[in-house]
Amino acid sequence: MKKIKVKIIKAALSSYWYNGQIGCEFYVEEHTHEKYKLYKDVTQSSIISKSDCDVIPDDPTPKPEPFELERAKKGELVVTRNGYNGKYTCTITKGRVNPIHVFEINTGPDHNCSWPYCYSSTGFYQSGEGVFEQITSDDENLDLFMAPKEREYLEGWVAVYPAGIISVVYTSQDEAESKNNSADIHKIIFPKP
């Protein structure tokens, strides 16, 4: 069964085990068309009504993408493996078989101090290339990736009927409620296409 993250928004009955857990998040899996059960709960005693919770989308934190030199040269931001932001500065080719690409990397406790670092065309940190650099014992942490792009999310409301049928997505809760009298209304958050 697929693991789903939900947030308790209410307890329809005070006798439900999650009555004192409003606002808490749990991992659940499908149980019936109206209920979830706690993820990998073999006792079947931890059932949550779908109308009492909202589904939380998978990790919305954007992930770094593989390094692409041409994108970096066009001004897209880069990030090191250990989280420092940076940008392309120049390429050194004179007297070199393989060019060295210089990136200004923002280091320091608040990412407020920039230093030039040398990289291969594939984004691997090149230590000892003669450009002023900060000495580190773990060079691979300075390898580059494309900075993650903030993913945009939309929110909407859907009506869930007792038979498990879900309505179209409405832009407001009022609209969903006015057009679906006998259904439970749930807020949903989903990635913008």
Per-residue pLDDT tens digits for 57-88: 776 666 788 999 999 999 999 998 888 889 99
Residue 121 is part of which domain span? 65-146
Residue labelled with tokens 């090149």: 126
Whether residue 167 sits in one domain with residue 135: no
Whether residue 136 sits in one domain with residue 77: yes
Rg for the chain, CA atoms, rounded: 25
What three-state secondary structure class fits 175?
helix
Q: What is the pLDDT of residues 86-135, one digit of tens each?
A: 999 999 888 888 888 999 988 766 656 788 888 989 998 887 654 444 44
pTM of the model: 0.48
Tokens of 87: 């940008």
Residues of the chain with pLDDT > 90, as a percent, come to: 18
Beta-bridge partners for 119? 101, 125
Instruction: Give the total number of structural domains in the chain.
Output: 3
Domain end call among 107, 124, 146: 146
State the amino acid at position 189 in one-letter form. Answer: I
